[in-house]
Amino acid sequence: MSCRRLGWLSLGLLLSPAVRPTVSHAQATLEARAAEGNGAPETLALSDEQLTIRIDRQYAETNLRHTFTNGSDTRLEGQYRLRAQQGAEVQQFAYWNGEEKIVGEVFEKQDANRIYDNVTGTGRDPGLLERTGEGSFAFKIFPIEAHEQKRVEVTLHQWMKRSGGAVEYRVPLGSDNHRIVVELHDERAIAHLQSSTHALTTERLPNGSYRLRAAPQKGQRQFVLRWEPTEPPLLLSAAKHKDAGQDGYVAMQLVAPPSVQQARAPKDVTIVLDHSGSMNGEPLAQAKLAAEEIADALVPGDKVNVISFDDGADRLFARPQPVTDETRRQTLSYLRAITPAGGTDIALALRLALASQTPEPGRSALILFLTDGQSPTAPVFEALRNDRSATRVFTVGLGHGVDRALLQKLAEQKRGRFTYVESAAAIRPEVTRLWKSLEEPVLTDLQLEASGGVIKRIYPKTIADLAPGEELLVVARVASEGPMSVKLTGQMGGKPVQFSTVVDGKKDESRPWVGRLWAEERVRDLLAEVAFVGESAELKQETIDLALAYDLVTPYTSFLAIPETELSGATKQLYASAKQRKADRLAAHPDAIALSRNAMPPGDPILLVKAPRDAKQVTATFPFGLVKDLVYDETTGCWKTRFLVPNTVADGHYYADVVVIHADGAREDLMALYKIDSKEPAFDVKLEKRAGGLWVVVDTAEEVRECQAMLVGTASTRIVLQPVGAVGKGRFAGMLPTHADLGTVRVVVADTARNEAIVEVGIE
Amino acid sequence: MRAGMTQLATLTTTVLALGSSVFAERTLYTNTQAVEDVLVVGDRLFVATQGGLEQYDLPRRLRTGLVTTEDGLPSNFVRRVFTDNGAVLVAVGDGVCQLGAIGQTTRRRATCRSVPPERHAAASLPTPSLYRGARVTAEATWRGERVRGTATAGVWLGELDLTPMQSICSNHIVAIQDHFLGRTWFGSFDEGLCSLDASGWQRAHGPFRMINDLMVAGDTLYVASSEGLFATTDGEVFRRVLTGNDAVADLAYDGKRQRVLAVTNTTLYAIPLTGARRRPVATFRPGGARSLQSVAVDPTNGNVWLASEDRGAIRIAGKETTGFDALTGLPTSWAIEVAVVDGTAYVGTLRHGVFALPANATSATEARALPALAHAWTLAVTPRRQGGVLVGTQAGWLAVVDGAVRSPIAARATENPPHGSIHVIYEADRGAIWIGSEGGTLRVDHPEDDAFEKTRAPHAALAQPLQTASQN
């Protein structure tokens, strides 16, 4: 097996860059071919399918159990593919080798790489989950023995937004032999619970939940469930999760009213349309139609302009022009004449669009930016920095190839909203939906504030205006000593409005999905930050910590399923140590505070504290007498200081005490643990002559950053020893490329604080 | 509202420095915005700051004195001020200094004695009170008016900010450059950038605070900081030079190829200043290093030298990269700084002093240790116009290493540095030397008159071959 890519596959390798139409048929398949051959893969029969669906409010956790049958006399290797609904993410996956369940787990990419390389080196192929598209996933399975019933289990989760007051759950089915059980829990009353695809038997459980069983439907390839939560209009409701001793997580919802009597504000609308070669065909056709609909919907008093771009940019008017019959005709004519060609220069088009705005009091300037491409981030950042206008930018990303992070960040910076559109067919409805929220928003200028506690790390960072009937979901971290009031303020029909709810930030509650929703948003934000301003140790570290804690696949983490019982000694140790490392990382999850190094000799590390930007004061007190006031850093979104540890400070573990005074005067106490280590690492060296050279084994007593060896006087023999025991400490080994009978081997070991020790051993 | 009159936070005095026979003029610059303690005695206000002890005449709202290391204090970080039997005492470092009886004299030499060190327990932190956005660190009253000392905004009498506006931006200066807009520029540890000319101090407002290096190339000032690399041609608008916000540790100018060299932890960037393509060229992990600290260019041949925390010194000559570290024979791989002068590469290490390597060395065994700096924790190694290098260490040393590897070497400590840790030494025009430390920045004019420069070291100070483990 040759697949060695880890983590997120570039979709460009698998799919054409063009947006693919929505596929609506069954999506769970296992394609397999003979393990020893190169024959064409065949799809194995899906002989059994069980779905257990748990829904809490509008959060669904779907457990899929698929059994495939290898009807051949041959051992096969297979590729399991699953295409779920847009927005679904894999929470867990596993497969069975006989009675052994091989469960996938998220590891830091470097650990996963090592394990993967070791396992593939033995001729086996570990199950590596790949994200092959929005809501699409795949992983390899080996072996599938002759006539084996191969069982596969995947758990998906997703948040379902209300639309028109109703919640709709969909999941694809792969066979007629499906069994479906749903448990639906909601504190709100539920009305109109029904399925358009299956007959349901409904049971009310003692805790008030519903248990539904769907009878198999021959030929039916999806299961649809629909219901309407009933609650008073304009109710701000909240679901919370809190672990003991930790800050809580909260998910808040509000549904905008279906209509509000208000005068429509005049708008300056600039449509920016990507017509690069990758938009060729249906995507560009649909995007043009969507743009035409917007042009049609503009009214006298509005202004309009169109900019089309590939690796160059062209504009209809130098400035947005008042909507008249003539300018509308020109707009439609211009849009219809656009043809696909060239590459994508987002920054160029953005600069042109921003520069063409002519802001006037009482008018809102909007840029609707549609693209399917990627573009260097630095020039986009530059364009944003140079623009001080209040113009709002709404970005629409089309298809798998689009740079979502860039568009998300762009919209966020310009107080707009990012909309992802997976398929060409969805372009028009999504753009129309977006336009409605822009054209006649019923709730505007929304902001969240809290009293009696602290609400922080709020996502989305900028709350967009809400269209009629649109649902808002906000996730955040909360901390308070008791019930706190959370208010959503804004404008409705030109008048100030306020919606409030009470969250008890102190009381422990178990709804882990709230934390997961927040973590996903936080990771998305961190990755957008990385894409936008470049990778930094702090951003990467927090991403990894959250990804490990919540089993999220990111550019820094991979989802692996390894049959432990079949691992060789060294790989087994490697696997165990990677698991231990993960457990250690999770145990010390630095959710609120981070140091650039936590083991160091005396020096000048940087202390980062995650506190709100509007905090009044963040002060750190160090045990050697130093008191430092931290300053908010826009780039990292942290409060930051650099401090000096004098070289007279003795080795040991220390805490820096940090006091955060929040905007409302609330005080938060944090601690940062760090270790001063100036001692050389202790270690033993053993040499063993082997056929390939000199086998060098180093046993260390502490965690090690790097271990190197060299035959003295022969720089070409220099090697970096690899861990063979617990990762980072224990045993390191490597083959020195020498057959010398005499000489000296020098070994240098550096610990995590970068203290070095040198040992020389003679060759006997 | 500020006090009607401002004063430079500087004191110029003439003291015996660095030798026995001649005088050098010294000017110390400190920042007194960080207040530790206040004491009102009659109409006088004493303010203990991290830049010395200030004395104010309260009825005139005027600072009348600043007592610093130049006046005999062992450190400019004054933690406490109090009176005992009519004498003003200040707690400095692990000692107490007495300023003598309170009188009209504003400048006094301090006499100091050691006392048991204070405990720095911070088990239960009080909620800091804030004044004008700054943490209040000390309070007193004078004629019913509140005197407040703050952590970052100086000392206030009621609504009046008493602390002189004009001062260096930080007591901890890590980079100095002149020849840009006619001013001398100072990069601080975590308080940004400021500059000085005859009109006084100015603060520059850039998107950085934690500066690591400054460099002037042509009409441009480059600022290497923990927030990234920036450039300015007017001292007001700073453009980001490298994409991303990776910390940039050090800068060098390659005159032969007309390019700026910059290092982040993992990457060497070469930024062309001429030609059609000016995109930075990145070399990732040169020599295998993951923690680059310094970059220098050999002016004779354009070879690039790097100092790293994990691969020692690295030389890049064309396509050939050669490493000099613990594995290849140096006592350590932890290099802090490198400078190349007259065919010798001087490599400053974290705690093993400075090594001199022939610039064309093929092996680390050709390195020679500089015994006078043995075991020193090195902070700065700067080329010197007359040859050799100036070395700043964490032990209060300002050393001059004179000549090439096989020449005699002079290495002497400066007398009475503002702080033990000297992070930057900069040779200005007309031979003046700036010394940037963690506790103030000192300008020494006319050091060429100093006996220090003329001293020839005794035989024992000659460069010694390295004692590596294999030679033991």
Look at residues A374, A380, A393, A402 and name the one whose alpha carbon lies nearest to residue A283.
A402
DSSP H or E stretch at residue B203: strand B200-204
Name the residue in chain A with its Cα closest to that of B288.
Answer: A720
A679 interfaces chain B, CB cutoff of 8 Å: no
The answer for A 374-403 residues in CB contact with B (under 8 A) is: 377-378
B79: chain A residues, CB-CB within 8 Å: 625
Those residues whose C-beta lies under 8 Å from the C-beta of residue B87, and which sit 6 or more positions away, are B98, B99, B100, B101, B102
Distance, CA of A282 to CA of A20 (rounded, Å): 9
Q: DSSP state, A716?
A: G
Query: Which residue type occupies A762?
Result: G
Contact A617 B128 (CB under 8 A): yes
**Nearest by CB to A625, which of B120, B127, B244?**
B120
Those residues whose C-beta lies under 8 Å from the C-beta of residue A325, and which sit 6 or more positions away, are none
Positions of chain A with pLDDT lower than 50, given as ranges: 1-26, 589-599, 726-728
B118: chain A residues, CB-CB within 8 Å: 625
pLDDT tens digits in sequence order for chain B, 472 residues long: 333 332 333 332 222 233 333 346 789 999 999 999 999 999 999 999 999 999 999 999 999 889 998 888 889 999 999 888 778 888 887 788 887 544 433 445 667 776 654 443 333 445 667 787 788 999 999 999 999 999 999 999 998 999 988 899 999 999 999 989 999 999 999 899 999 998 889 999 999 999 999 999 999 999 999 889 999 999 999 999 987 778 899 999 999 999 999 999 889 999 999 887 778 888 988 998 988 999 999 999 999 999 999 999 999 999 899 999 999 999 899 999 999 998 899 999 988 888 889 999 998 989 888 776 766 788 999 988 777 888 888 876 666 665 544 343 444 556 678 888 899 999 887 778 899 999 999 998 866 544 333 333 333 333 444 443 333 2
- Residue B282 has a pLDDT of 87
Contact B128 A606 (CB under 8 A): no
Burial A630-659 (b: 16+ CB within 10 A, else e): bbbbebbbbbbbbbbbebebeeeebebbbb
**Nearest by CB to A535, which of B209, B244, B326?**
B244
Q: What is the distance in angstroms between the Cα of A718 and the nearest Cα belonging to chain B?
A: 8
Q: Does the ipTM surpass 0.90?
A: no
Query: Which residue type occupies A447?
Result: Q
Chain A interface test: which of B131, B150, B226, B472 (most A C-beta within 10 Å): B226
Secondary structure string (H, E, C) spanning A55-78: EECCEEEEEEEEEEECCCCCCEEE
Contact A760 B128 (CB under 8 A): no
Decide: A410 and A349 in contact? Cβ < 8 Å. Answer: no
Long-range contacts of A718-726 (CB under 8 A, 24+ apart): A718/B327, A718/B328, A721/A696, A723/A574, A723/A577, A724/A570, A724/A573, A724/A574, A725/A573, A725/A577, A726/A573, A726/A576, A726/A577, A726/A580
Beta strand A392-398 with A364-371 is parallel
Decide: A159 and A58 in contact? Cβ < 8 Å. Answer: yes
Look at residues B338, B463, B467, B337 and name the one whose alpha carbon lies nearest to residue B405.
B463
Q: What is the distance in angstroms between the Cα of A745 and the nearest Cα belonging to chain B?
A: 10
**Count of helices and strands (H, E) across chain B:** 1, 42
B152: chain A residues, CB-CB within 8 Å: 629
The answer for A 429-468 residues in CB contact with B (under 8 A) is: none
B127 interfaces chain A, CB cutoff of 8 Å: yes
B363: chain A residues, CB-CB within 8 Å: 715
| Half-sphere exposure at residue A411, Cβ-oriented, CA atoms within 13 angstroms | 25
**Nearest by CB to B470, which of A378, A641, A744?**
A744
Distance, CA of B441 to CA of B30 (rounded, Å): 7
A625: chain B residues, CB-CB within 8 Å: 79, 118, 120
**Nearest by CB to B135, which of A534, A619, A758?**
A619
Strands of B193-197's sheet, edge to edge?
A: B173-180, B183-188, B193-197, B200-204
B226: chain A residues, CB-CB within 8 Å: 606, 642
Q: What is the distance in angstroms between the Cα of B79 and the nearest Cα belonging to chain A?
A: 10
The end-to-end CA distance of chain B, in Å, is 68
- Residue B414 has a pLDDT of 61
How many A-B residue pairs are in contact by the CB < 8 A criterion?
Answer: 107
Q: What is the distance in angstroms between the Cα of B449 and the nearest Cα belonging to chain A?
A: 34
A744 interfaces chain B, CB cutoff of 8 Å: yes
Those residues whose C-beta lies under 8 Å from the C-beta of residue B277, and which sit 6 or more positions away, are none
- Residue A508 has a pLDDT of 67
Contact B127 A667 (CB under 8 A): yes
The answer for A 583-612 residues in CB contact with B (under 8 A) is: 601, 604, 606
Contact B130 A629 (CB under 8 A): no
A621: chain B residues, CB-CB within 8 Å: 122, 125
What residue spans of A269-402 are helical by DSSP H? 282-297, 325-336, 346-355, 377-385
B227 interfaces chain A, CB cutoff of 8 Å: yes
Angle B452-B454-B456 from CA coordinates, rounded to 5°: 95
Those residues whose C-beta lies under 8 Å from the C-beta of residue A583, and which sit 6 or more positions away, are none
**Ramachandran angles phi, psi of B197, nearest 5°:** -145, -165
A619 interfaces chain B, CB cutoff of 8 Å: yes
Q: What is the distance in angstroms between the Cα of B255 and the nearest Cα belonging to chain A?
A: 28
Those residues whose C-beta lies under 8 Å from the C-beta of residue A603, and which sit 6 or more positions away, are A644, A645
Contact B332 A619 (CB under 8 A): no
Alpha-carbon Rg of chain A, whole angstroms? 29
Q: What is the distance in angstroms between the Cα of A287 and the nearest Cα belonging to chain B?
A: 32
B233 interfaces chain A, CB cutoff of 8 Å: no
Distance, CA of B52 to CA of B90 (rounded, Å): 10
- Residue A336 has a pLDDT of 93
Distance, CA of B54 to CA of B36 (rounded, Å): 11
Name the residue in chain A with its Cα closest to that of B331.
Answer: A758
Q: Is B272 buried (19+), middle (13-18) or exposed (0-12) by CB count in 10 A?
A: middle
Residue A613's DSSP bridge partners are none
A748 interfaces chain B, CB cutoff of 8 Å: yes
Distance, CA of A275 to CA of A530 (rounded, Å): 27
- Residue A36 has a pLDDT of 66
| Half-sphere exposure at residue B193, Cβ-oriented, CA atoms within 13 angstroms | 31
Q: At A429, is the secondary structure helix, strand, or coil?
A: helix
SS3 content of chain B, % helix, strand, coil (to 5): 5, 50, 45
Name the residue in chain A with its Cα closest to that of B132.
Answer: A616
Q: What is the distance in angstroms between the Cα of B337 and the nearest Cα belonging to chain A?
A: 15
Contact A754 B310 (CB under 8 A): yes
Contact B394 A647 (CB under 8 A): yes
The answer for B 310-349 residues in CB contact with A (under 8 A) is: 310, 323, 325-329, 331-334
Q: What is the distance in angstroms between the Cα of B51 and the nearest Cα belonging to chain A?
A: 15
- Residue B466 has a pLDDT of 46
Chain B interface test: which of A627, A754, A759 (most B C-beta within 10 Å): A627
| Half-sphere exposure at residue A12, Cβ-oriented, CA atoms within 13 angstroms | 8
Distance, CA of B50 to CA of A69 (rounded, Å): 77
The pTM assigned to this predicted structure is: 0.54
SS3 content of chain A, % helix, strand, coil (to 5): 20, 45, 35
Name the residue in chain A with its Cα closest to that of B124.
Answer: A657
User: Please, what is the angle between helix A569-587 and helix A109-121, to 10°?
Assistant: 170
Q: What is the distance in angstroms between the Cα of A406 and the nearest Cα belonging to chain B?
A: 14
Distance, C-alpha A384 to centroid of its chain? 24
Distance, CA of A678 to CA of B332 (rounded, Å): 13
**Nearest by CB to A635, which of B121, B227, B323?**
B227
B360 interfaces chain A, CB cutoff of 8 Å: no
Q: At A24, is the secondary structure helix, strand, or coil?
A: coil
Contact A534 B244 (CB under 8 A): yes
A661 interfaces chain B, CB cutoff of 8 Å: yes
Those residues whose C-beta lies under 8 Å from the C-beta of residue A468, and which sit 6 or more positions away, are A256, A257, A258, A259, A260, A436, A440, A442
- Residue A398 has a pLDDT of 87
A756 interfaces chain B, CB cutoff of 8 Å: yes
Q: What is the distance in angstroms between the Cα of A9 and the nearest Cα belonging to chain B?
A: 24
